[in-house]
C-alpha cells in the first residue's frame, strides 16, 4: 500500500514533468511562429499576380517587380538536381541494402554520412572547382551537381532503411515464384517500401530547394528567364539573397515576398511527402 | 504434373555451421509427405534446399543432389530461378504481396517469371487457381482489393493459389497453418487433402496430429548433440505413428521430448 503522501508527491512530479515538456514545446514553437508571421507580414504585401509573371524592375529601387525568371530557374534547378540526385540515391540505397554488409558497404555508408554533413557552401565550392573553372562559365548544371551532392545522401540512407523494413518473407515469396533478384527488387521490394522512399525523395528535394550558398558559386544568373542549363541561371534563394543586400526598401520587400514563395514551396513539398506517405503506407500495410 | 522428389546425401550449411547432414529420401508423386521433428532439427532447411531457396541466405550452401522428376536441381547447368519457378512454396506466415490486389497476387508468379500470357488467359488462370485454393467464391467480387485486407486463413489460401498459378509439379509447405487459428488451420488441411491428387506435397509441421491426418508418408528429423539435423526415420505415416522402428521416433511421437 502506497501512503497518501507518497502518492501526492508522485502526482506532483508527474504534473511538473508534463508542464516542463509542454513549456519546452511552446518555447520551440515561438521562434517558428514568429518567423512565419514576420515573413507573411513583410512579404505578403509585396505579393501580387505580377510578382509571379514579371521580372525585377529595370531600375533598381524603383519598384518591387516580380520573380518570374527566378521561379522558372528554381524549378529547372530542382528538376535537374532530382535527375542527378534521385537515381544515384535510390540505386546506392538499393546497393547498400542488398550488398552492403561487408567492409566496402560500411565504407560507402561512412562516406555518405560525411557528405550529408558537409556545409552546403562546400558543395558549391566543389562544383565551382570541378565544373565552373574548367568550363569557364557559371552554369545551371554545375549548380545541379552541387545540389545533388547535398540531396543524394538523404535519399540513399532513407532508401536503405525503407528497404530494410520490408519483411524477408516477401522477398522469399517472390524468389520462390521464380523471379530473378532484380525483378524481386523492382516489382516487390521497392513498391513495398515506396512510402518510405517517396518521403525520402520529397524531403531531399525540399532540403535543396532553399539552398543559397552553393548557387552563388555555380548558377549565379541574371534575373532574366534562361532555359539554357549550360549557362548561368537565376534562382529564388539567390535573388532573395541579392535583394536583401541592396539599400532599397523595395528590394527588401521583394526579398520577403520571395522568401514567402519559397516558404510556400517547401511547405507544399512537405505536405506532399506527408500525404504520399500516408496513402502509400495504407496501401502497403502488412498485417 | 506431379513429380517425385529424391534427395541424395543432402547437407546444408549456414556459413560454417552444418545444419543438416546426409539426408537421403524419396518422396512419392501425388502423395503428401510430412517432415516432423523438434525445433532446430533442420526440417525447414531441408525443405528450402529442395527449391534452392536455402542459398539466398547470405553464406548458406548445399551439398548433394536433389532430383525432381528426372532433373537434378543441383545439376551443373540448372538455374536456381528456373528451379523455383517449377516448385511451389507456401510459407509459415501468410505473405501475400501487400502492394498487390488479390488478382495481382495470383498473377504475380507468371508475371515475375516472365510467363504472363494474354489478359483472358490470365483471368482464367487466376480463377482456376483461386478455385483450386477453395477461395474463389469468397473473393470473386473483390479481386481488385488488396490481398492484405483478407483474414489470415484467406491470405494463406491466396498464397497457395499464388503458388498453384505457376502450375508446379511439387508444392512445398513450411508450417502453412501454424500461424492460423484452429478453424482456418482445418480449412487449409482440407484443401491440402483435395490438392494431393495433383501434386507432390512436402509439408513441414510442428503438429504431429496434422501429420497423422494428412500425410501419406512421414519423415522424422532430429538434431543430435552436435546440433546437426538428420533424418532418423522415414516411412508410411500409419506405420510411423503406430509402430516406429527407431526408439527416438517413438520417444518424440509419444511426447517424451520436443
Count of CB pairs separated by less than 8 Å, A with B: 81
Q: Are residues A15 and A72 both part of a single domain? A: no
Of A266-280, B38-52, B84-98, B166-180, the range with the lowest mean pLDDT is: A266-280
Q: Locate cell 532574366: which residue?
A: A224
| A85: Cα separation from own chain's centroid | 11
Strand order in the sheet with B200-204: B71-72, B60-68, B5-14, B17-27, B229-236, B217-223, B32-36, B200-204, B170-174, B87-90
- Per-residue exposure over B193-222, b if at least 16 CB sit within 10 Å of its own CB, e if not: eebbebbbbbbbbbbbebbbbbbbbbbbbb
Same domain, yes or no, for A14 and A111? no
Distance, in Å, from the CA atom of B227 to the CA atom of B250, rounded to the nearest integer, reads 20
Together in a domain, A144 and A258: yes
Placement of cell 549565379 in the chain? A220
In the DSSP assignment, the letter for residue B54 is G
Is A173 within 8 Å of B95 when comparing Cβ atoms? Answer: yes
Specify whether the CB–CB gap between A185 and A245 falls below 8 A: no
One domain for residues A86 and A70: yes
Rounded to the nearest 5°, which phi and psi values hold at B86? Answer: -100, 0
Residue A8 CA, chain-centre distance (Å), reads 48
d(CA A102, CA A98): 11
Mean pLDDT of A185-200: 89
User: Is-contact B251 B208, C-beta < 8 A?
Assistant: no
CA of B233: how far to CAs of B17, B160, B230, B244, B249, in Å?
23, 28, 9, 8, 7
Residue in B with minimal Cα distance to A287 = B148
**Does residue B133 carry a pLDDT above 50?**
yes
B229-236 and B170-174 beta bridge pairing: unpaired
Residue A282 has a pLDDT of 65
pLDDT of residue B189: 93
The pLDDT, as a whole number, for residue A286 is 44
Q: So what's the pLDDT on residue A283?
A: 59
Q: For chain B, give the mean pLDDT.
A: 93
Confidence of residue A284 (pLDDT cuts 50, 70, 90): low
Residues A157 and A115 in one domain: yes
pLDDT score of B135: 93
CA distance, residue A276 to nearest chain B CA (Å): 14
pLDDT of residue A57: 80
Q: What percent of chain A stands above pLDDT 70?
A: 97
- Same-domain pairing of A125 and A214: yes
Res B137 pLDDT > 50: yes
Domain assignment of residue A151, given as a range: 50-286
Give the integer Cα–Cα distance in Å for A247 and A258. 17
Which pLDDT does position A287 carry in this prediction? 39
List, for residues A66-79, the tens digit of each pLDDT value.
Answer: 888 888 899 999 99
Task: Please compute the mean of the pLDDT values over residues B194-204 and round it to a whole number.
Answer: 92
What pLDDT is attached to residue A221? Answer: 80
Do A12 and A120 belong to one domain? no
CA distance B44 to B21: 13
Contact A187 B91 (CB under 8 A): no
Which residues are CB-contacts of A68 (< 8 A; sequence separation ≥ 6)? A52, A53, A54, A55, A225
- Please give the pLDDT value at position A249: 86
Q: Does the pLDDT value for residue A45 go beyond 70?
A: yes
Instruction: State how many domains chain A has.
Output: 2
Q: In terms of domains, do A40 and A79 share one?
A: no
Could you count the other beta carbons within 10 Å of the beta carbon of residue B28? 14
Query: Within chain B, where are the H helices?
Result: 43-50, 80-85, 102-112, 119-132, 136-139, 152-164, 182-195, 208-214, 237-242, 247-253
Task: State the pLDDT at residue A210.
Answer: 87
Write out pLDDT tens, residues A100-139: 888 999 999 999 999 988 999 999 999 999 999 999 999 9
Q: Are A37 and A122 within one domain?
A: no
Q: Which distant-in-sequence residues (6+ apart) come within 8 Å of A266 by Cβ?
A: A206, A209, A210
Is residue A110 located within the same domain as residue A125?
yes
Asked if A284's CB is within 8 angstroms of B112's CB, the reply is: no
CA neighbor of B81 nearest in space, from A99, A176, A98, A172: A176
CA distance A227 to chain B (A): 39
Residue A154: DSSP 8-state: H
A62 φ/ψ angles, rounded to the nearest 5 degrees: -90, -35
Query: Do B60 and B14 meet the contact criterion of CB atoms below 8 Å apart?
Result: yes
A144 & A25 share domain? no
Of A165-169, A263-267, B160-164, the range with the highest mean pLDDT is B160-164
In a shared domain, residues A117 and A244: yes
Interface of chain A against chain B, CB under 8 Å? 101, 167, 169-180, 183-184, 187-188, 191-192, 194, 283-287
| Alpha carbon of B210: minimum distance to chain A alpha carbons (Å) | 24
**A170–B97: do the CB atoms touch at under 8 Å?**
yes
Q: Which residues of A touch B155 (CB under 8 A)?
A: 287
Residues of A in contact with B86 (CB under 8 A): 178
Q: Grade residue A206 by pLDDT with cuts at 50, 70 and 90.
A: confident
Residue B58 has pLDDT above 90, yes or no: no
Q: Averaged over B159-178, what is the pLDDT?
A: 94
Query: What's the CATH number where A138 sits?
Result: 1.10.3720.10
Mean pLDDT across chain A, nearest whole number? 88
Residue A114 to chain B, least CA–CA distance (Å) = 28
Within a 10 A sphere around the Cβ of A95, how many other Cβ atoms?
16
On whether ipTM exceeds 0.85, the answer is yes
pLDDT band at A59 (very low <50, low <70, confident <90, very high): confident
pLDDT(B258) > 80: no
**Once rounded to an integer, what is the mean pLDDT over residues B212-241?**
93
Amino acid at each position: 500500500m502506497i501512503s497518501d503522501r507518497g502518492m501526492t508527491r508522485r502526482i506532483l512530479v508527474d504534473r511538473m514533468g508534463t508542464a516542463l515538456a509542454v513549456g519546452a514545446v511552446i518555447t520551440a514553437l515561438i521562434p517558428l511562429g514568429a518567423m512565419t508571421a514576420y515573413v507573411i507580414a513583410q512579404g505578403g504585401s509585396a505579393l501580387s499576380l505580377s510578382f509571379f509573371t514579371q521580372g525585377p524592375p529595370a531600375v533598381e529601387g524603383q519598384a518591387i517587380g516580380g520573380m518570374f525568371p527566378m521561379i522558372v530557374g528554381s524549378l529547372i534547378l530542382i528538376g535537374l538536381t532530382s535527375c542527378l540526385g534521385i537515381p544515384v540515391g535510390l540505386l546506392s540505397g538499393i546497393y547498400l541494402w542488398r550488398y552492403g554488409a561487408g567492409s566496402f558497404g560500411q565504407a560507402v555508408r561512412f562516406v555518405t554520412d560525411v557528405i550529408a554533413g558537409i556545409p552546403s557552401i562546400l558543395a558549391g565550392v566543389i562544383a565551382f572547382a570541378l565544373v565552373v573553372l574548367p568550363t569557364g562559365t557559371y552554369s545551371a548544371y554545375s549548380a545541379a551537381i552541387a545540389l545533388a551532392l547535398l540531396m543524394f545522401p538523404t535519399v540513399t540512407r532513407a532508401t536503405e532503411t525503407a528497404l530494410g523494413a520490408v519483411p524477408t518473407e516477401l522477398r522469399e515469396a517472390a524468389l520462390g515464384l521464380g523471379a530473378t533478384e532484380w525483378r524481386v527488387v523492382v516489382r516487390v521490394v521497392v513498391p513495398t517500401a515506396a512510402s518510405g522512399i517517396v518521403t525520402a525523395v520529397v524531403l531531399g528535394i525540399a532540403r535543396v530547394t532553399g539552398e543559397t550558398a552553393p548557387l552563388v558559386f555555380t548558377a549565379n544568373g541574371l534575373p532574366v528567364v534562361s532555359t539554357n542549363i549550360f549557362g548561368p541561371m537565376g534562382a529564388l534563394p539567390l535573388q532573395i539573397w541579392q535583394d536583401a543586400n541592396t539599400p532599397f526598401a523595395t528590394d527588401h520587400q521583394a526579398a520577403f515576398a520571395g522568401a514567402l514563395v519559397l516558404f510556400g514551396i517547401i511547405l507544399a513539398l512537405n505536405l506532399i511527402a506527408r500525404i504520399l506517405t500516408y496513402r502509400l503506407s495504407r496501401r502497403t500495410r502488412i498485417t | 504434373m506431379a513429380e517425385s522428389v529424391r534427395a541424395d546425401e543432402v547437407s546444408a550449411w549456414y556459413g560454417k555451421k552444418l545444419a543438416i547432414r546426409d539426408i537421403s529420401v524419396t518422396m512419392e508423386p501425388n502423395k503428401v509427405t510430412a517432415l516432423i521433428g523438434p525445433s532446430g532439427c533442420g526440417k525447414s532447411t531441408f525443405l528450402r534446399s529442395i527449391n534452392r531457396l536455402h542459398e539466398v541466405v547470405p553464406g548458406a550452401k548445399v551439398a548433394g543432389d536433389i532430383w525432381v522428376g528426372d532433373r537434378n536441381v543441383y545439376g551443373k547447368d540448372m538455374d536456381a530461378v528456373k528451379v523455383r519457378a517449377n516448385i511451389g512454396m507456401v510459407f509459415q506466415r501468410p505473405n501475400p504481396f501487400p502492394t498487390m490486389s488479390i488478382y495481382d497476387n495470383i498473377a504475380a508468379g507468371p508475371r515475375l517469371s516472365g510467363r504472363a500470357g494474354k489478359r483472358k488467359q490470365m483471368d482464367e488462370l487466376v480463377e482456376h487457381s483461386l478455385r483450386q485454393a477453395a477461395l474463389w467464391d469468397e473473393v470473386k467480387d473483390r479481386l481488385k482489393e488488396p490481398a492484405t485486407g483478407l483474414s489470415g486463413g484467406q491470405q494463406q489460401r491466396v498464397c497457395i493459389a499464388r503458388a498453384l498459378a505457376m502450375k508446379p509439379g511439387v508444392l512445398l509447405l513450411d508450417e502453412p497453418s501454424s500461424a492460423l487459428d484452429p478453424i482456418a488451420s482445418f480449412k487449409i488441411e482440407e484443401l491440402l487433402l483435395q490438392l494431393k491428387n495433383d501434386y507432390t506435397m512436402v509439408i513441414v509441421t510442428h503438429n504431429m496430429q496434422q501429420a497423422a491426418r494428412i500425410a501419406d508418408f512421414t519423415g522424422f528429423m532430429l538434431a543430435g548433440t552436435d546440433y546437426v539435423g538428420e533424418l532418423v526415420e522415414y516411412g508410411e505415416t500409419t506405420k510411423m505413428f503406430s509402430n516406429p522402428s527407431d526408439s527416438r521416433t517413438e520417444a518424440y511421437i509419444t511426447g517424451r521430448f520436443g
